[in-house]
Structure 1
């Protein structure tokens, strides 16, 4: 698969980049994508949820009424879950939601995500660029030139220029990433994938290693 390289004005440069089928043309594995996205979301969970059970409630241990003769159920503690202000039954406790996946499976998932984007013609290759200073307005104009205004996009660079990163922080529906931070969730979550020209070769080497 060949794609034309465009500049930041949205014009074709006359150069073309080859996207090899070994990465961008494989048959996508939906289950691998599901597992990798599930792991990404699980690993991002804080797991700090906690509610007090009856043993942790501050309150009197005095028996609140006599055992028999009241016409209602027996009750021995105000901290019982059946009373207002009592402990919670089987409440949430702090836990770690993270789990591990094999490296080959994660690699297959990312290749499958890239293959989906190539299949849907949702990849744009732009020539490498940098910015002299952080300018959000200038970055927004670049997105408009690439016809990405209002489109949820992921821009992938070999190495992110600090000024480009700072310029993109407040732009909605836009995310800038490097090859080291590339993950299946961000690829699938984006409607359009923007690859810097120098990053294409690095992506091919990364996934064909």
Structure 2
């Protein structure tokens, strides 16, 4: 298949990478797994056995109403937690092949919905926000825009950082959450070739 390149001749790409069917269930699984992998999982609480303080029984067993042992019991303010949370990993296993199929599915859907824009280059050599605003207007993209380059230059990154909802990534940093959460994805020709080489 061919993808239109703004201001240049069309680019021939693989049907497998940019023309496949959209696998919604797999994409959802991969996105959830990616977000889960970013969770810190450092929450920690103390059970009654881990609380500091005396374990002495603070009143006699009988004659005082309810029977209690020590003040570290969960029913008392300042006591231990009944089911104390402990540090854990939220990581979910996703096979490498399934991950690549999901990324191909996302790119195919972006191309079908005309949300994937291809350019020869961003044409920004100086880190000027004004230059980036003009470029985005020229490309007719708005909302959440993801700029993908084969090797994101510092000038492009600096020009985009003051514009809300504009993100710059290189091909190696591409992830399903950034792709799914973008209204438009703008890629250079070299970035498309690298993605095709990676996913073919």
Q: Given the two structures, how large is their TM-score scaled by the length of structure 1?
A: 0.88
2:141 is aligned with 1:161: no
1:117 maps to which residue? 110
Gaps in structure 2 of 5+ consecutive residues = none
Correspondent of 1:107 among 91, 100, 109:
100
Q: Partner residue of 1:181?
A: 173
Provide the C-alpha distance between the structure 2 equivalents of 1:127 and 1:65, rounded to a whole number of angstroms.
81
Larger displacement relative to structure 2 (60-69 or 14-23): 14-23
Alignment of 1:22-61 (within 5 A): 22-61=16-55
Cα distance in 1 for residues equivalent to 2:162 and 2:47: 43
Q: Deviations over 1:78-137 (max 9, x none)?
A: 010001111111121111222332211111010011111112111111221343332223
- Summarize the Cα distance change of 1:202–1:56 in structure 2 as closer, same or farther, 3 Å threshold: same
| Residue number in structure 2 paired with 1:9 | none
Query: Partners of 2:139 and 2:85 in 1: how far apart?
Result: 47
Secondary structure of 1:193 counterpart: strand
Whether 2:4 is the aligned partner of 1:4: answer: yes
Cα offset, 1:25, TM superposition: 1.1
Distance in 2, Cα, partners of 1:50 & 1:170? 37
2:102 alignment partner, SS class: helix
Aligned alpha-carbon RMSD (Å): 1.7
Question: Could you state the TM-score of these two structures normalised by the residue count of structure 2?
Answer: 0.91
Displacement of 1:14 in angstroms is 4.4
Q: Distance in 1 between matches of 2:93 and 2:3?
A: 35
- Equivalent pairs counted in the alignment come to 200
